[in-house]
Structure 1
Amino acid sequence: MNALEKNQTWKVVNLPKGKSTVGCKWVFTVKYNSDGSLERYKARLVAKGFTQTYGIDYSETFAPVAKLNTVRVLLSIATNLNWPLQQLDVKNAFLNGDLKEEVYMDPPPGFSEKLRLNVCKLQKSFYGLKQSPRAWFEKFTTVVNRQGYRQSQANHTMFTRVSAKGKITVLIVYVDDIILTRDDLVEMDRLKQSLATDFEINDLGALKYFLGMEVARSKKGIVVSQRKYILDLLKETGISGCKPIDTPVE
C-alpha cells in the first residue's frame, strides 16, 4: 500500500454515473532464491482484469517479451568476448506505465473504511489490468530510447548503444528483469544511474538466475542449468519421489 500511494497509482473519487468498477484482490506469494531458500514474502494488490470490457476499459494489450534464443545468443557473445553480465530488477514495474483509459477500481480489501467507501480512479497501469504489460513496455522503451539506445527490429526487447569510440552496450528486458552486458564500463554505470531516476531499480550484480535458468560462470565459460525449474515441475506433478529409469533402446 505504501508503494501504491507513493507512486500515486490512484485518486480516490466518487464513482461517476454510468461508470462501473473493476474488482481487486490481494495475492500472497513466497519468493525463493535459485537454491530453493526463502527470499521474501510478497503481497500484491491485483485488479480483476477479466471483468474489463474491450473498447471501454482497454484497447491494445500486446507487449513483446525477450526470445530465449536471443538470451542464449547474448550469453554466448558475452562469454566469447569476455564481457561481464549484470542483472537489474525493476520494483513494481507495472505501476510505472501511463494509463490512457479511464478505469475505476473497487477499494482494496481491508481498506474500504480508510478510503471512505469511495472508488479508486487509476492514474497508472496496474497489475491485473489487460493493458498493463503494454503500458509498462511503452514507458520503458521511451526511457531507454531517451538514453540514446536503439531498439532492435529483430527482437523489440533488445536495445543497443554504440559510443563514439565504437564500444557497445547491450540491454535485454523480460517484463521487469533486465540483463546488461558491454565492453564499456562507464556507460553501464551511467545507464544504471539514469534508469534509477525514472524507476526503482534493484542492482542484483552479476547474472546468476534469470527466467528459471541458473547461470554459473568460470574461466572456461558459462553453464546454464534449469535444475530448480525441473524440480518445481516434478513437485507440482507429484512425481518428485519417483526413481529414474533408463529409456529402453531397441
Structure 2
Amino acid sequence: MVIFRRKRDDQGKVIKYKARWVAKGYSQVHGVNYTDTFAPTATIAAIRTMLAMAVARGMNVQQMDVNTAFLNAPVDHEIYVQPPAVDGIFSPNTVLRLKRGLYGLKQSPRLWNHTLDAWMREQDFVATATDACIYRRTCKGGKVMWVAVYVDDLLIFADSDSDMAAFKKAISKRFKMKDLGSPDICLGIKDRHMSQEHYLRNVLETFGMADCKPVGTPLCTGYVDRPADKEEPLPDVPFRELLGSLLYAATMTRPDISAAVSMLSRRMQHFGMDHWKAAKHLLRYIKGTLSYTIKYAATGETSNGSTADGVLSAYSDASFASDVDTRRSRTGFVVFCVETRQVVCVCLL
C-alpha cells in the first residue's frame, strides 16, 4: 500500500508531503518470512548526556538523516509482495520479489541496524558496552568522535572539524544522506534549547486545553492519590491517551512533571473523575511552563576546583507509607553527571 504523510516543522507548519510505499507486514508469518525483529536505538538518557558533554567540551555537533534507510539493507528471507494499485506502472496480477528491506516489514529495522553497525565498525567505531547505538572513535591527536544513532537519525559529536567533515564525506559515499547541519529538532526535541514546547502545545490543543488558565504546581496542593471506586464505570474521558502523551515529555525534557505523571499513571487501569481533574490540572501547569528548557553550561569544575571526568552522582529517597490504599512507600531517585551538572535519569516508583 501507499502511505501519505505530512511532515511538519517545530511550529506545526507542513513543510513536506510524503508518499511511501510500504509492505503489509501484518500478513507476515513468524518462522516463514521473518524471525527476529528487535533493533536497538540510542536511549534519551545517553543522548542528553552526550549533548551536555558536547557543551562542556566545546565539541562540534551535527545532525544527518539517512534517506529511505531501510532500503539499504538486503532482506534475509524470500519475500514477495503485490505492488500498489497504481495505473500505468504495473500490469495486473504482478508479483514482486523483494531484494531490500521495505518499510512495513517486521524485520526491516533490524536489518538496517545490522547494515549500519557493520559499516560503523569498518570505520573503526566501537559501540559502547551499555548502549549499542552510541559509537566512539579516537582520531589523530587523541581527538574523540561520538555518533548517536536513532533508527535513521544521526547525531555526530567531534572535537575536530576536520574529523567531522571526513566522517560526513565517508558516510555520504556509502548511504544517501541528508546533511541537516547543526541540530534543530531531533526525536521531537528542539536540541538547541532541549525543549518540547511545540510538542506540548499540540498536546494542549489535542485535549482542548490550549486556552486554559495556568497554575503553578503540577498537582494541586494536598493532592492525595486515592484509588477509584472499582464498582463505578470508567468515565468517558481520554485519560490514558493524555498520560501516554505526557509520559513522552516527562522522559525526554520535562523531569519537573515526572512525579505527577508517574503518580497518575498508576491509575491507568481504573481511574475516576478525580484523576481526570488532576490530569487537567497538570495540563494547566504545562500551559504556564511551555518555555521551560533544559540548559547545559560549559563548566566542568567541581566544588574543590578540580575537573571531574564524567563522574556520576545518584540520590534516592522514599516516602513513608504514603499510598493510602496499600500503605506502601514511594521511592524515587535522580542521577547527575558531575562533569556537566546535568540530569541523566529521573525515576519515581
Superposition TM-score tier, normalisation by shorter sequence: 0.7 to 0.9
Distance 2:73 2:87 in 1: 24
Distance in 2 (alpha carbons) for counterparts of 1:225 and 1:142: 33
Normalising by structure 2, we get a TM-score of: 0.60
Q: What's the C-alpha RMSD, in Å, of the aligned pairs?
A: 1.6
- 2:91 and 2:171 mapped to 1: Cα distance? 33
1-side partners of 2:86 and 2:134: how far apart?
Answer: 41
Equivalents in 2 of 1:187, 1:111: separation in Å? 48
CA distance in 2, matches of 1:115, 1:179: 43
1:191 counterpart (158, 167, 181): 167
SS of the residue corresponding to residue 179 of structure 1 reads: strand
Selected match of 1:138 from 101, 110, 114: 114
Q: How much has 1:112 moved relative to structure 2?
A: 7.4
1:47–1:164 distance in 2 versus 1, CA, 3 Å: same
Structure with the largest fraction of strand: 1
Q: Is the contact between residue 126 and residue 135 of structure 2 (CA under 8 Å) also seen in structure 1?
A: yes
Matched, 1:110 2:82: no
Identity of aligned residues (%): 33
* Secondary structure, aligned partner of 1:225: coil
Q: 1:135-183, CA deviations, whole angstroms, 9 ceiling, x for partnerless residues?
A: 0000011111111111112100011110242110100010111000111
Name the structure 2 match of 1:6: none
- Runs of 5+ unmatched residues, structure 1: 1-24, 217-222
User: Which residue is 2:27 aligned to?
Assistant: 51
Which structure ranks higher in relative contact order (CA pairs < 8 Å, sequence separation ≥ 6)? 1
Pairing 1:82–2:43 present: no
Identify the match of residue 228 of structure 1 among 198, 204, 211. Answer: 198
Distance 1:241 1:121 in 2: 53
Could you say which residue in structure 2 is the equivalent of 1:38?
14
Match of 2:73 among 91, 97, 113: 97
Return closer, same or farther for 1:43/1:226 CA change in 2, 3 Å cut-off: same
- SS of 2:191's equivalent? strand
Shift of 1:240: 2.7
- Structure 2: how far apart are the matches of 1:112 and 1:64? 40
CA distance in 2, matches of 1:183, 1:106: 48
Name the one with the larger helix percent: 2
User: What runs of 5+ residues in structure 2 fail to find an aligned partner?
Assistant: 223-349
SS of 2:3's equivalent in the other structure is strand
Q: Structure 2 CA distance, aligned partners of 1:231 and 1:109?
A: 38
1:246, distance to aligned residue in structure 2 (A): 4.3
TM-score (norm 1): 0.83
Aligned to 1:249: 221
The higher radius of gyration belongs to 2
